[in-house]
Amino acid sequence: MKLTFDANNTKVYDNILDQTQFKKLFNFMNFVPMIHKRSHGEWNRVWGFGDGDILMANRYIWPRNKVRKFNYPEDCLTPFFEFVNKQIEESGLWSEEEKNDITTVVMTPYIWPPGSGLSWHNDSNYLGAFTFYCHEYWSPEWGGEFLTAEANEYILPDKKDIEWKVFDNQPLYDTIMDQGVGHYIQPKPNRLVLNKGGPHGILHKVNKSTVNSGPRITLQGFIRAKGIEEDCCSE
């Protein structure tokens, strides 16, 4: 394992699984049943009209510091869960007080078809989030980068509020463009991106992949905590 990128709100870890573990997880992601996200309940307005129709599987939920024991073929998830739990405790992204407020961690397998992405947002309804890249190969010409913005704090309006801008969120765009700089993180195989959420969470998006890209295969997770209202946002 290598800590490749270390910032106040984001950590990037590479090669968190050995090659045998990673291959088993990749095979599992090819096997697990998926449905189209847009056919799954109410429209989540974090997902824009142009973001594409992403596939998702059933989610997994576990309490802080505990790892579920799985039978074949889901047993390939155990080393991944163990690593995530360890980094929640040791990454330094959260204080002891924040970690003590953690209730559960939730994770969902996703497949992002060519041409899909996710619009600018922050994970304000969660204490934190993570993305793990499960595809075996990714070209830097294919897009699909995890982009973060160096921006002033942005408080996302309540989605029940009339001020939630579905079609044009100029206040958010102005916040991002005020400095107009940030970081990009390639969706490198066997890479984990761990980012802070909550009211002070970093603004980020998934850049659209090209129409000739391979599928972007991920495990997407969120860290739930007391005192932070959960929404259905996911990436």
Q: Which residue has the higher pLDDT, 68 or 96?
A: 96
What average pLDDT does the segment 132-157 reach? Answer: 88
Average pLDDT over residues 21-36: 93
* H or E stretch covering 111: strand 102-112
Tokens 């950590």 belong to 11
Stated pTM of the model: 0.88
Hey, what's the torsion of the CAs at 10, 169, 218, 195, to 10 degrees? Answer: 10
pLDDT at residue 235, as a whole number: 44
Say how far residue 198 (Cα) sits from the centre of its chain: 14
Residue 49 has a pLDDT of: 54
What's the pLDDT band for 158 if we cut at 50, 70, 90? low
Who wins on pLDDT, 181 or 124?
Answer: 181
Homologous superfamily of the 2-225 domain (CATH)? q2cbj1_9rhob like domain (2.60.120.620)
Among 85-89, 134-138, 147-151, 200-204, name the one with the lowest average pLDDT: 200-204
Dihedral in degrees, nearest 10, Cα atoms 99, 100, 103, 104 = 40
Amino acid at 102: I
Taking the C-alpha atoms of residue 49 and residue 52, their distance in angstroms, rounded to an integer, is: 7
Please give the Cα distance from 129 to 234 (Å, whole number): 9
Q: Compute the radius of gyration of the chain from its Cα atoms.
A: 17
Q: Residues 164-222: pLDDT tens digits?
A: 555 667 778 888 898 899 999 999 999 999 999 876 778 999 999 999 999 999 999 99
pLDDT exceeds cutoff 50 at 232: no
Mean predicted confidence (pLDDT) in 72-91: 92
Q: Which pLDDT does position 40 carry in this prediction?
A: 54
Check residue 234 and give its pLDDT. 45
pLDDT digits (tens, 9 = 90+) for 48-62: 555 567 889 999 998
Q: Report which of residues 199 and 124 the model is more confident about.
A: 124
Comparing 167 with 23, the larger pLDDT belongs to 23
Q: What pLDDT is attached to residue 163?
A: 52
Burial of 16-35, coded b for 16+ CB within 10 Å and e otherwise, reads: bbeeebbebbbebbeeeeee
Of the spans 69-78, 130-139, 218-227, which averages the highest pLDDT? Answer: 130-139
Does the pLDDT value for residue 5 go beyond 90?
yes
β 55-56/102-112 pair status: antiparallel
Contact 60, 106 (CB under 8 A): yes
Q: What is the mean pLDDT of the chain?
A: 85
pLDDT of residue 151: 77
